[in-house]
Chain A
């Protein structure tokens, strides 16, 4: 019986017979009807029951695992409808028709039966005939442009369904001969084209079909006031662009950031910026880098910045404090837990190095390495991310010079470090020399910190870095 069906398929010579042959006789009947719809545009949308086709290996029932569409969605032929599973095989069921989904016969995890209806589709008979449905890729063109239109794929008339079919099969619409009205490309044309192929799928052109057409500029007579110049004025034409806005809910970590940042901006910030000459530090780091590497640690500039900040905080402990909610009490924190802002896929995270006041520069480097590798693996723990008292943000690794950082509550100060640039500067003798300059931008809570304190702290921090030997004097 099965063989008989196959033979009858080939003798009828439907263009779609290649796809229909696998299915049962009732499906063949429907394809008959579909062809009738094609040629008689008078009939209205009929609801067709799309049955679950044979899976093979004698399987009679499957479990519905995921729906790709819902009732009311419009589908094209070959669109994925659902995913079903049977005995370790996952099967993608695709639509045989263009139309609108009217009913899903099963819910997720239901058992579906081969040969029984899966979905009801309302066939849209007007597809391919109605001129409103066509999507023309070119902007409305003037008569002259018709004659020198050369860009491929830009002067093709085809419905969205036909376009999708072409795209799925990596066919350039410009290479298909359209047999519909106005050389419109119909589904049969695509299928004919496919049948002519030797089975090779042509590689898709690099994004040529998806990019909106190049703006056509045209010279028009110059506007009256520019008569003297006579420069051509480009005329912009409305461009067909089918991009859509995308709205996503703010969830999870982002939601928490919204809350934190809203609280942060309640803090009256003031800023203070300065320039630091790191020429000596750069040299020092070059000398120490190999030593650190021998010990298995990557030494960046941050450990120096962090240690210098801690030394500064010893002199100006108000910067390492916290103001309570009601602004009644200021708590001077004993530990210098200096946070380092890190940019990850999920967003900004600020792990902190604990107790910098008792750490050496090398200790800090070790800890930074640990935090950085955990951060990039997305495995930072809660203890690493809480308890910070002061923050440094090295935005300079990405770029920029001056910044206006936002204080992270419950802290009262933050510093943003710009990138290190090689700039000409004057030395004591009035000579120009090459200096390694980095800009720092501090923000502080003006309720408890005044400008003078911030400036003095910054100067101290700067002096430690410009002349690293002075750090030795004050290191604990």
Chain B
């Protein structure tokens, strides 16, 4: 009797004092969670949080999530090389850098993301992808889907429907992959085409592939049906309940510290500043008066900031003092159109009031800004 009431006390205190702890350490050996948010930074922050805080010795976790339009680049990639940043800004599509490696992907609500959390020892990508394929085949046996040795999933042996990436830490690891259900292929192909020329870097390049939506193959398939099928297969393989727990990435009591992680993922220093060192070597073709000026530009960009800059202008086209002022100000600035716009317009205020000079300055600066 005494033992029973003592156990009850413990359980109650566990629930009252540390409800979060009990949530993250179920006895069942597995947990399937789905995010209620479609915000890419929040969802990436959840991955970080679980990776940093949850002990996965006794259980594994499957995290299901979808994002409103966003481009997600890999940890060591160069956003200027990978996507059309101008188009992203115009269309208000978010840019995020994840912590796992791999290439660039386009997310929208027609794309589902799956993250498999395990201990580092149990990290095994092929098994996870085979689970996904099994789930799809159980749903529609006639689907021709298989896993390649590059950890892609191909439809009809031709079209990529899933890309993979992974992050390994000291004790935990996660493997996440996308799955194209009904994404906007038109936007996808236009945002993933970089217009920037003359970039040289050692950043991880993406390998372009032809893609197709599962919806195009079978119009009865929706993201919800596919997510559910995968959860079901996961539940079967881990011998747990086919129960998906919804979690809110903004919940600080369940995920203490999550808002800091979310904020960090949105900082310029993370998204752009983590780009490996690269150089820009290109030629500006500026129509001026009756001719076209060919102006060679060379820049080195490190941590997303201009480290060195050289602009090959015709002699005296700009007063030498002004040219050196421009170059001096560019060094140390972010390689970012907004920052440079503000910089050059502010500098113009202290220039001599000469219309010709102003128009030359504007012409040069606008062309420079187009490189970013």
Contacts and interface: CB of A to CB of B under 8 A. Distances in A.
A binds B: yes
Interface of A: 19, 22, 55-57, 65-66, 78, 83, 85-92, 94, 108-109, 170, 198-204, 249, 251-253, 255-257, 259-260, 263, 322, 324-325, 331, 346-347, 349, 377-383, 385-386, 408-410
B53 interface: yes
Contact of B358 (A204, A381, A385, A386): A386
Interface of B: 18, 20-22, 24-25, 53-55, 57-58, 74-76, 89, 92, 99-103, 120-121, 123-125, 151, 164-171, 173, 202, 204, 253, 256-257, 274, 276-277, 305, 325, 328-334, 337-350, 352-353, 358, 362, 365-366, 369
B346 A324 contact: no
B95 to A, nearest CB: 13
Nearest to A410: B353
A322 B124 CA distance: 70
Contacts of A331: 353
B346 A253 contact: yes
B339 A252 contact: yes
12 contacts: A55-B168, A56-B121, A56-B173, A85-B101, A87-B101, A88-B74, A88-B102, A198-B25, A200-B21, A202-B18, A256-B344, A263-B350
Nearest to A251: B332
B276 A386 contact: no
Contacts of A201: 21, 24, 53-55
Nearest to B51: A92
A199 B55 contact: yes
A19 B18 contact: no
A322 B341 contact: no
Contacts of B165: 88-90
Given A89-B166, A199-B55, A346-B339, A386 B362 contact: yes
A386 B53 CA distance: 50
Nearest to A256: B346
Contacts of A57: 123-125
A454 to B, nearest CB: 22
Given A66-B76, A199-B25, A260-B346, 13 more contacts: A22-B120, A56-B123, A57-B125, A91-B169, A200-B22, A249-B332, A252-B334, A255-B328, A325-B353, A349-B342, A380-B341, A382-B345, A386-B358
A379 B338 contact: yes
Nearest to A388: B349
B167 A409 contact: no
B332 A83 contact: no
B125 A65 contact: no
Query: Which 6 residue pairs are nearest across A and B when measured between Cβ atoms?
Result: A252-B333, A251-B332, A200-B21, A88-B102, A90-B101, A385-B345
Nearest to B168: A91
Contact of B343 (A55, A256, A322): A256
Nearest to A206: B256
A55 to B, nearest CB: 7
- A55, A88, A201, A382: which has the most chain B beta carbons within 10 Å? A88
A40 B343 CA distance: 60
Given A409-B349, A410-B353, A253 B333 contact: yes
A85 B204 contact: yes
B168 A92 contact: yes
Contacts of B204: 85
Contacts of A346: 338-339, 342
A253 to B, nearest CB: 5
A386 B347 CA distance: 10
A92 B170 contact: yes
Nearest to A385: B345
Given A200-B22, A386-B345, A255 B332 contact: yes
Nearest to A93: B170
A88 B341 contact: no
Contact of B168 (A90, A170, A347, A379): A90
A65 B75 contact: yes
Contact of A203 (B20, B350, B365): B20
Contacts of A324: 352-353
- B89, B102, B171, B342: which has the most chain A beta carbons within 10 Å? B342
B282 to A, nearest CB: 20
A341 B124 CA distance: 56
Given A380-B341, A409-B350, A203 B75 contact: no
Contacts of B339: 252-253, 346
A388 B318 CA distance: 22
B339 to A, nearest CB: 5
Nearest to A92: B169
Contacts of A87: 101, 151
B53 A90 contact: no
A170 to B, nearest CB: 7
A383 B345 CA distance: 9
